[in-house]
Amino acid sequence: MQAEYDSNNIFARILRGELPCFKVYEDADTIAFMDIMPQSDGHTLVVPKEQAVDVFGLSEAGAAAAIRATQIVARGVREAFQPDGVVISQFNGAAAGQTVPHIHFHIVPRYVDQPLRGHARQQQDMAVLKQHAERVIAALAKLKG
């Protein structure tokens, strides 16, 4: 059962430039920006530009572009934050934890001595998010070399 796409969801509005974000990466098919309610420092979202609620509604080309962008951005996040590990996740449906009805991928740095903050619980300070975005942007530039 495919959910109907809501063109006024927060990510669609970000894609149209109606809402701001701390963008770290963009190509023809995707955009990546800092999660405003991060589970850890450096938590970044990769959002396909294609209108799809979840992985089931995403085209094969959109899926390929999303994974390619997720790999690029994850490398930048890893370089910028030097975590012990990185969780890459994607939720499909409210019962699975999806809070925005537009497909997106989470890149979450993990540290052995730090528990994750709750998903979509507390908004991070905007100045901190800006600093984190700058770190990821610098790391991506370094890796691109």
| pLDDT greater at residue 121 or residue 51 | 51
**Which residues are catalytically annotated?**
104
Q: How far apart are CA 107 and CA 104, in angstroms?
A: 10
Q: How far apart are CA 49 and CA 132, in angstroms?
A: 23
Q: pTM of the entire structure? A: 0.95
68 and 60 in contact (C-beta within 8 Å)?
no
Give residue-wise pLDDT tens across range 11-63. Answer: 999 999 999 999 999 999 999 999 999 999 999 999 999 999 999 999 999 99
Give residue-wise pLDDT tens across range 76-102. Answer: 999 999 999 999 999 999 999 999 999
Domain covering 10-144 assigned CATH 3.40.220.10 in the classification: no
Mean pLDDT of 109-119: 89
- 14, 82, 94, 130 from 24: Cα distances, Å: 13, 17, 27, 10
Place 120 in a pLDDT band, splitting at 50, 70 and 90.
low
Cα angle, residue 139 at apex, residues 133 and 142 outer, rounded to 5°? 145
Q: Look up residue 102 and give its amino acid.
A: H
Non-local (6+) Cβ contacts of 79 within 8 A are 139, 140, 142, 143
pLDDT at 1: 56
